[in-house]
Amino acid sequence: MLIVDDSGTIRAGIKLVLQQAKLFDGYFDCADAQSALGLLKEETFEVVLCDIIMPNMDGFEFLRRVKSQEAFVDLPVILLTGQDTVAQKIKGLELGASDYLTKPFDPGELIARVKVQQKVKRLQDELKIAKQKYRELAITDFLTGITNRRHFMELYLKEFSRSKRFVAHLSLIFFDLDNFKKINDTLGHLQGDRVLKTLTKLVTSQIRRYDVFARYGGEEFILMLPQTGFDAAMMVAEKIRSTVETTHFEGMEAPGSVTISLGVSSFPLQKVETGEQLIKLADEAQYEAKQQGKNRVMTLVETSQ
């Protein structure tokens, strides 16, 4: 709770009433709006009580500055006023005030109004968390926890457009597990899921923070490497292939029981006009890796020149 008023007596009275009601874990108070703005940057508050008439910066200007910052848009601000006029209320509400309290205030009314704003703030925070969780579910593959195909395509098409506009390097690695159907058929789908989860962890540990790794479908995966040329992409692909081959996956016989086949495509080395075409080249290169015996990295770069 933050109380802003140039009167120390009023600040102490408000704090005493609210402390007795046990509404908040902590209380801060300021004699001026400028100090309050500084506190907002350092502490997290559920509700702010602010007087309108104060020296240097009044409550309206304080409110305007608070609500101009995205982080504080939903922060409830109750304005304190000794002049209960309609014009003042309208101005405050237009600036984003949540409520008004007229001085001298009744302790019961103070508690009731603060309780309402406290509840509103908590409901808003819960809604934000729920929305964030929903967004994460919408863009994440449920099994592996990495990006799903739909969200990958959104990110990838934007990056391809940028790369094409600035003629910047962009590479893709398309891969899938070798003999994955056999794993599911002989060891069961739970073991297959375990292999997919372990694989995603291995690959994630091999890539950069800004690379985008996604489950494309089933046992197929795709990796976008922004600002990465063909030679570097081939090195990344080979490193991933080798790591998978030499890892002992839980539930499998020994290292080498799980392998992957990878295809690499690279722009602008491969002359394509659309992002879908670059994906198709990586997919075709991965298919060629399968045809050549699996557990290898292939590319169609030379044949596309």
**Minimal CA–CA distance to 282: which of 137, 156, 132, 121?**
156
Residue 40: which residues within 8 A CB-CB, separation 6 or more?
A: 2, 48, 66, 72, 75
Q: Among the options 42, 136, 219, 302, which is catalytic?
A: 219
d(Cα 144, Cα 2) in Å, to the nearest integer? Answer: 43
DSSP reduced 3-state for 68: coil
Q: Is 219 a catalytic residue?
A: yes
Residue with tokens 């601000």: 77
Contact indicator for 61, 84 with CB cutoff of 8 Å: no
d(Cα 305, Cα 303) in Å, to the nearest integer? Answer: 6
d(Cα 91, Cα 232) in Å, to the nearest integer? Answer: 60
Contact indicator for 35, 129 with CB cutoff of 8 Å: no
d(Cα 27, Cα 18) in Å, to the nearest integer? Answer: 9
- Distances from the Cα of 129 to the Cα of 72, 134, 136, 255, angstroms: 16, 9, 11, 41
Q: Tell me whether residue 111 is exposed, middle or buried, using C-beta atoms within 10 angstroms of its C-beta: 0 to 12, 13 to 18, 19 or more.
A: middle
Tell me which amino acid residue 232 is: A
DSSP E strand boundaries for the chain: 2-4, 28-30, 48-51, 77-81, 99-102, 170-177, 212-217, 220-226, 260-267, 297-299
For the annotated catalytic residues, the residue numbers are 219
